[in-house]
Amino acid sequence: MDRTFDELVAEAEAAPMEGWEFSWLDGRATEQRPSWGYQRVLGTRLARATAALDIETGGGEVLAGAGAMPRTMVATESWPPNIAKATALLHPMGAVVVAAPDEPPLPFADNAFDLVSSRHPNTVAWADIARVLVPGGTYLAQHVGPESVFELAEFFLGPQPEARRLRHPDTESADARSAGLEIVDLRFERLRVEFFDIGAVIYFLRKVIWIVPGFTVDAYSERLRDLDQHIRAEGMFVAHSTRFLIEARKPY
């Protein structure tokens, strides 16, 4: 028997939010993955690095799964539950987790790292990234692109024409160049996302807080019921995420 709207809501509201992995959604939602395989690419770069920094590491899951770490490995994170989780995961692997805000400046000296990485950063402070890289050092990241999951965002918020222009890879590339970095690689993909029940939507919006800022079940109860009816009728709600891989180098 299908679970009721209220049962799905209660389950999603009780789900834990710490960390940056989405196994809770297994069987309840799917997201197509970028073809380049960010974690694998990161692993190849870490293998060649001597001192690396992972910005906004979340719970440390992506970094921990990337493979062998360099002699000096540092990660930053701002959210206390994630700081604790990342420390427990990464410290036994030889990485130090530093509690630091997402906003600049990074709490490190100039020319401190030959690799800086990040997966889905909230804030990209290009000048600060350039500052902490050694000459010849590389920034490697996977960023969320423009109009990511906008079908879902606009279902709740209505049209968002201004927000549609944010996070564009051309803008990010221009900002990187303005900070003195050279673009080595830039790849963009639009990827299918499917939600199979309203609990999956609620979990996703609780965790990815910038999709519908200030989201709560109470504030959006009517739209959630509308979306629940849509999913029951159609079998899913389809959206599209956007991602881009960017690699930039600090000149010698």
Domains of the chain: 5-249 (3.40.50.150)
Q: Residue 210 CB: number of other CB atoms within 10 A? A: 15
State yes or no: pLDDT of 252 exceeds 70.
yes
Q: What is the DSSP letter of 228?
A: H
The tens digit of pLDDT for each residue in 196-223 reads 999 999 999 999 998 999 999 999 999 9
Q: Give the whole-angstrom CA distance, residue 232 versus residue 245.
A: 35
Q: What is the pLDDT of residue 56?
A: 97
- What's the distance, CA 117 to chain centroid? 12
Query: Using 50, 70 and 90 to split pLDDT, how confident is the model at 163?
Result: confident
CA dihedral 172, 173, 175, 180 (to 10 degrees): 150
Give the percent of the chain with pLDDT over 90: 93
Give the percent of the chain with pLDDT over 70: 100
Structure tokens belonging to residue 50: 């001597």
- In the predicted model, what is the mean pLDDT of residues 51-63? 97
The tens digit of pLDDT for each residue in 222-237 reads 999 999 999 999 999 9
Which H/E stretch holds residue 26? none
Lowest mean pLDDT among 1-5, 10-14, 69-73, 191-195: 1-5
Which of 1 and 158 is assigned the larger pLDDT? 158
Q: What is the pLDDT of residue 164?
A: 84
Q: What is the pLDDT of residue 1?
A: 53
As a whole number of Å, the CA-based R_g of the chain is 19
Q: Which residue has the tokens 């049962």?
A: 7
